[in-house]
Chains A and B, each alone.
Chain A
Amino acid sequence: MRRNLLVFAEHRDGKPLRVGLEILSKARELADERDFDLCALILTDRVDDAEALSRYGADLICVGTDESFGHYGHGFIDTTLDVVRELGPYAFIIGATALGSMLAPEVAAHLRTGLAAHVIDYRWDEDLIQVVPSFGGRVAAEIVTRTTPRMSTVKPGTFSMIERRGRGELKSVKVRKPEQDRIRFEGFERIEPKGRPIEDAGVVVVGGGGVESEKDWGMLKELAELLNGALGCTRPVADRSWSDEEHMVGTSGKIVKPAAYIGIGVSGSAHHTCGMKDSGIVIAINRDRNAPIFDTADLRIVADYRDVLPALLTKLRDLKKQA
């Protein structure tokens, strides 16, 4: 086996999740700099087109399909450990999805290796430097791992997808299943998202704890719609019924990089700004001149949103009518 990097490419409903492709894209760059192979691991109940991963740079694609892989279980861990032991990758990177966040620490502990969480950048020095956020993203730490494989997780949205051909050889993986799993999957309860997803939107309007009522939330919704954007939130709003965690931006939520971010009644705690700092233009409306969000904003609007939004909505409606 050539020296290699391994990426876990999570699948749902037969398709790869974007996060796996984002990580492959970044890992391809890292592999090229050291002349490593890039391997991908798919463990799923169904895969439509495993070879498609070669478009994002995968040289070797290891595939294990089993009905039990539609959800988390110990078979995932055992099968992953087998693959890692066989390939002996220099580094192993997993997307920090719900499933990945359960899988990665277990695999790392079994292998007695280090695991860097939510890496925001990788760089080769003598070793692989993994840059991770701490204190909600206020601080960045450069981490090296003294054991092999160097394991890490990456949140969705951290890296961009870049098409780059890999050799795309396929290899099937022997599936392992515990005879009796002490955790048994019973089913999946779908929850209707409260509005359009924020990950791909060109404009993201974020309402924070300063938004006072559900009626006011309606103004933010209309603003997002008029801008063909999506409406996100901060922690205090995710705790209310108007929005949900799927729309929360930050450490425990999503990373977004829209062309325009508009924060309304958002204070700008580090746990939130780490999820929006790479946006195009940042506009913040806050009545407190000293709110930390203004440090991260291009346009710092010191005002009560209840004054600004009605005027803005009227003008945007007019623009729309003219169009």
Chain B
Amino acid sequence: MRIACLVKPVPDPEHYDRISVSPNGTLVRAGIPIVMNPSDRNALEEALKIKERRGGDVTVFSMAPDDAEGVLREAVAMGADHAILLSDRNFAGADTLATSYVLAKALERFGPFDLILAGNESADSSTSQVPSQVGVWLSIPALTGVAEIEHNESLTVRCSSEGGRAVYEVDLPVILAVKRGINSPRYTSFAGIIRANKTEIKIVRAEDLGSDASMTGLEGSPTKTLKTSVLDICRKGEYVEGDAGDIADRIINELRKAGALRE
């Protein structure tokens, strides 16, 4: 079984309260480390589990600048066999359509793959769109919100939905976007780290992919960001400390004032 896994390097989501916007409108996220997107870690774990059971190999793909190599190396240290970094100046500024186009081109170029796994959402833009759109470019079905994957002749996939889980039977090849709860990702092992240091992270440029420049990056993106700003959600609050009984009275008073206490 040839499995591909899509991973995205993102600024560490534990530090988004440190993000600001400079007067000229660019995002400032200095000092926030780049990490593997949380649910992509689950996608990779699922890929590795399937490989362990059914044999085959796992290739991780990332469309990101050259400095994202560390995240791909970590994926190899976790157990991925190959890592491919799609990095080109022309890929920059891509929205989900242009991103999915480049990923699909790469999956074709280095494929075919039986199964493509991705995280259900990225921590930074959280659109949950890329996996489905990759599926469209490749003309293969996609399912998102995947909470469980079970193997038989075909695959049985459970997708979380309002009030429960929808169960689908799917034929390969397919692309599945998995949720955080699907498994607990493994840590990198010492042997894995040594192997990762010896593994080549293949850097692939636009010319290697034969991608159409009008479909990639800023130019290939039908959406355009006009302006970004930090959402001001701060309130003028009041600190309350001290005796628990007094605090309880204060809470009851405030709830009453807000009309939230039915008496």
Contact = CB atoms under 8 A, between A and B. Distances in A.
A59 to B, nearest CB: 27
Nearest to B163: A190
Contacts of A245: 160, 181
A106 B238 CA distance: 47
A188 B162 CA distance: 11
Interface on chain A toward B: helix, strand, loop, or mixed SS? mixed
B183 interface: no
B99 to A, nearest CB: 11
Nearest to A146: B222
Interface on chain B toward A: helix, strand, loop, or mixed SS? mixed
Nearest to B133: A109
Given A105-B132, A187-B167, A143 B142 contact: no
Contacts of B263: 319, 323
Interface string A295-310: 1111111110001101
Contacts of A117: 96, 125-129
Nearest to A319: B263
Given A116-B223, A141-B228, A273 B14 contact: no
Contacts of A203: 255, 260
A118 B122 CA distance: 13
A269 B259 contact: no
Given A109-B136, A138-B17, A259-B259, A98 B166 contact: yes
Interface residues of B, number: 87
A87 interface: no
Given A183-B169, A188-B161, A188-B165, A319 B132 contact: no
Contacts of A143: 223-226
Contacts of A190: 163-164
Contact of B231 (A139, A146, A191, A227): A139
Interface string A110-146: 1011111110000000000100011111111111111
Given A297-B237, A299-B251, 7 more contacts: A12-B162, A115-B96, A145-B223, A183-B174, A191-B165, A295-B233, A298-B238
Interface of B: 11, 13-14, 16-17, 19, 21, 27, 95-97, 100, 121, 123-130, 132-133, 135-137, 140-145, 156, 158-171, 174, 180-181, 221-231, 233-241, 244-245, 247-252, 254-255, 257-263
